[in-house]
Amino acid sequence: MAGLNKVVSSYEEALTGLSDHMTIMVGGFGLCGIPEGLINQMVKMGVKGLTAISNNAGVDDFGLGLLLKHRQISTMIASYVGENATFEQQMLSGELNVILTPQGTLAEKIRAGGAGIPAFFTATGYGTPVADGKETREIKGRHYVLEESLTADFALVRAWKADTMGNLVFRKTAANFNPMMATAGKITVVEAEFIVEPGELDPDHIHTPGIYVDRVIQGKFEKRIEQRTVKAAK
Amino acid sequence: MALSREQLAQRVAKELQDGYYVNLGIGIPTLVANYIPEGMEVMLQSENGLLGMGEFPTEETIDPDLINAGKQTVTAVKGASFFSSAESFAMIRGGHVDLTVLGAFEVDVNGSIASWMIPGKLIKGMGGAMDLVAGAENIIVTMMHADKYGNSKLLPVCELPLTGYGCIKRVVTDLAFIEIKDGAFHLLERAPGVSVEEIVSKTAGKLIVPDHVPEMVF
């Protein structure tokens, strides 16, 4: 690496420093927009006792589901875990500590974490189990819950295009949690479908400025579809 | 006759207005998209980061990077936009979505809703439902009036863990259209052929019944 060139040439290099008991953020919604190669590399490394922050937990044999299968995650912070049987079984047995978090609150916790905001008030979850043990406050006649922000040792992000300086562009609904997570990692690693030279991305169209990004790796993606739905051909 | 899922969606669709931005939950709410009146312009928001959701793709146009909140492959309409989850929930929490339609296990006379967890049985997570009910001013809940044993799901107080407290004002069930205000359910309409007596017998929470209860019109 030299100067602002953040491109690394191997998955080993991309995740150097990631070790047991760290907190990791992993982008994606369902299987859409997940950093597939970085997840596979964590499986290969065998890191254990991870706290994983991700909207979902993948499916049994793909995405974060692979880390669960190998019992590498001890705490999971997510909003929806419905499609993963391994997950449910580990949660019910108490093997896995799960902090279910409303999706919008999760997104905002990460956004706030990356933006240096330690906590915020939201009406989401007031009067529900999500508010248990949390400070609440009435502001202008409405009740709010104090939610603390989230950061991570490593944020693992998938982008469509990255330039070598780490400027990022996401594609369609594969953006989801990736832009916020890119801002909230002590080390942010981006797995990109395409890596281009600085200047090739229009500065007006960059979603995530390179200042947030530490490493960029050229990815290879299967892009598995969770719910393949099509209309009848005419 | 109790409403079919399609009829339920059809009745909800009558509440749409031209120019609305609408978030439709998974299940019956999704079907509402099939009954948007001809000539009406409505933008569908999908909380995973899409405003302007279109129909399902063909085998040729399917794109793994374009899904809805139910993780189904979809398309985007002309004028659509994509954005992050934080931006998506800024729209929702900030009250910018005109109408939210979602399902529920239970609602109660105070407008509380339970829809995400059955202790010991079902733990899937709340997804975006808690944000949606907290953020939207205009919410319609679609649900079955009673379970298969005839036990009411419209209760004095929700028994399951809540999704939101005191936030629901309108409910369309397979039997009735109900408004929630002043600590009671108010019967506005009944499904065609369904008697007021049946609705009364299947509503556990306090129910106000006016002298005349019209049948739903589709």
Intra-chain end-to-end CA distance of chain B, in Å: 14
Quote the pLDDT of residue B128.
96
Contact predicate A135/A119, CB 8 Å: no
Q: How far apart are CA A162 and CA A160, in angstroms?
A: 7
Beta strands in A106-226 (DSSP E): 119-122, 136-139, 142-148, 152-163, 168-169, 185-196, 215-218
Interface predicted TM-score of the whole assembly (ipTM), two decimals: 0.95
Interchain contact A130–B (C-beta under 8 A): yes
Contact predicate A178/B82, CB 8 Å: no
| Cross-chain residue pair A231–B46, CB shorter than 8 Å | no
Q: How far is B159 from chain A (nearest CA, A)?
A: 12
**Does B41 participate in catalysis according to the annotation?**
no
Which residues of chain A neighbour B85 with C-beta distances below 8 Å?
29, 55, 103-104, 106-107, 176-177, 180
Query: Among residues B47, B106, B189, B198, which one is catalytic?
Result: B47
Q: How far apart are CA A67 and CA B116, in angstroms?
A: 25
Give the one of A122, A180, A233 whose C-beta lies nearest to B59's C-beta.
A233
Interchain contact B110–A (C-beta under 8 A): no
Q: Is B21 helix (H, G, I), strand (E, B) or coil?
A: strand
Which residues of chain A neighbour B107 with C-beta distances below 8 Å?
none
Q: Which residues, in sequence order, are bridge partners of residue A97?
A: A75
pTM, whole model, 2 decimals? Answer: 0.96
Predicted confidence band of residue A84 (pLDDT cuts 50, 70, 90): confident
Residue A48's alpha-carbon distances to A38, A68, A75, A157, in angstroms, are: 15, 10, 11, 20
Interchain contact A233–B (C-beta under 8 A): yes
A 174-213: CB under 8 A from B = 174-180, 207
- Report DSSP state, residue A62: B
Which residues of chain A neighbour B67 with C-beta distances below 8 Å?
29-30, 32, 173, 225-227
Structural domains in chain B, CATH included, are: 5-208 (3.40.1080.10)
Give the one of A55, A82, A223 whose C-beta lies nearest to B124's C-beta.
A82
Closest CA to A167 of A132, A192, A187: A192
A 10-49: CB under 8 A from B = 29-33
Closest CA to B114 of A130, A84, A134, A109: A130
Strands B106-108 and B113-114: antiparallel
Interface test with B, best of A124, A158, A170, A193 (most B CBs within 10 A): A124
Helix or strand run (H / E) with residue B178: strand B176-181
Closest CA to B187 of B177, B195, B174: B177
Whether residue A234 is predicted with pLDDT greater than 90 in this model: the reply is no
Contact predicate A159/A190, CB 8 Å: yes
Local confidence pLDDT in tens for the 218 residues of chain B: 899 999 999 999 999 999 999 999 988 999 999 999 999 999 999 999 999 999 999 999 999 999 999 999 999 999 999 999 999 999 999 999 999 999 999 999 999 999 998 887 777 899 999 999 999 889 999 999 999 999 999 999 999 999 999 999 999 999 999 999 999 999 999 999 999 999 999 999 999 999 999 999 98
Tens digits of per-residue pLDDT, A168-216?
999 999 999 999 999 999 999 999 999 999 999 999 999 999 999 999 9
| Cross-chain residue pair B130–A82, CB shorter than 8 Å | no
Q: How far apart are CA B165 and CA B109, in angstroms?
A: 11
Q: In chain B, which residue's Cα lies nearest the Cα of A234?
A: B58
Q: Is B11 helix (H, G, I), strand (E, B) or coil?
A: helix
Q: How far apart are CA A84 and CA B126, in angstroms?
A: 15
Q: How far is B163 from chain A (nearest CA, A)?
A: 6
Which residues of chain B neighbour A178 with C-beta distances below 8 Å?
84
| Cross-chain residue pair B48–A125, CB shorter than 8 Å | no
Q: How far is A83 from chain B (nearest CA, A)?
A: 8
Contact predicate A102/A124, CB 8 Å: yes
Residue B155's alpha-carbon distances to B78, B115, B150, B151, in angstroms, are: 43, 14, 13, 10
Q: How far is B21 from chain A (nearest CA, A)?
A: 18
